[in-house]
Amino acid sequence: MEIGTVFPQLEIGHDPQTIADYAQRVEESGYEHVVAYDHVLGVNPDREGWDGPYDYENTFHEPLTTYSYLAGQTEDLAFMPGILVLPQRQTALVAKQAAQVDRFTDGRFRLGVGVGWNEPEYVALGEDFSQRGRRIEEQIELLRRLWTDELVEYDGEFHEIPDVGIKPLPIQQPIPIWMGGMADPVKRRVARLADGWLPQFQPGDEAEAHLADLYEYAEEAGRDPDEIGLGGRMYAVPDEEDEWIDRAQAWHDLGADYLSITTMYHELEAEEHTAHLERVAEVLQDADLL
């Protein structure tokens, strides 16, 4: 099981050097990847009917451009958006940007995608929130073609690609696509289309039930369930060292391929996230988990 971190972008601040130091120090500590959340726009929380968890005062560093920066600051660290809200973005542009990140990281990149939940963000970006499920399925097909074919002709429900292509193509052809979400239509989509799944559960009975659904849907789609990777996420609450070991071991026992450790929401200052992760790494290394 490969262990990495969740980029603490809500709390790390805006200084580029602090962000570079974070990536360099987690790499030196033995972590193998960094996952970052995605929101392009924040909503005014005073708007009628709004009850979302984030608003315009929350900082979100754009994942793909941030990874391009961090690729030049690190040696072996891998990167993945967890997740990029794909249906609100232009597909060909995402293909181009992801290919560039894949080049800059020497193939150490996975593209995590999902449909999102923030309708005002869709409106501001010029896309239809109600069509996001159908749109992402077409986007995944098209991304893989743009990453593997020099020229693409495509006429779909949402895209018309008139015999064009991107250059340079990525190192990975195609880049692995992972999907987030837990609703039943999402699990069926993961089973049919994704290289891996980023669920929101923690190990336990709920996780076992969701995984049973996924495996059933994969077999119905003619796929081997073992071909679909599993990525977990866990909080590392300060001073709960035994809990860090137990949670990481539980994900390992569940069969996770990747585990990302979150340090947000514990009143840590920008630089404190890195120091805390260094301590977590020491504990997990002593337990032979990192």
Query: What pLDDT digit, counting tens, does each position of 96-108 carry?
Result: 999 999 999 999 9
**129 class by beta-carbon count within 10 Å (0-12 exposed, 13-18 middle, 19+ buried):** middle
What pLDDT, on a 0 to 100 scale, did the predictor assign at position 49? 83
Which domain does 110 fall in, by range? 2-286
**Domain CATH number, residue 237:** 3.20.20.30
**What is the number of structural domains in the chain?**
1
Its pTM stands at 0.96
| 213-234-45 Cα angle (round to 5) | 90
Distance CA 269, CA 261 (A): 17
Q: Tell me which residues of the chain have a pLDDT lower than 70.
A: none
User: Closest by alpha carbon to 208, among 244, 166, 175, 255?
Assistant: 255
Query: What pLDDT digit, counting tens, does each position of 246-260 carry?
Result: 999 999 999 999 999
Six token digits for residue 112: 């995590």
User: Closest by alpha carbon to 125, among 93, 165, 80?
Assistant: 93
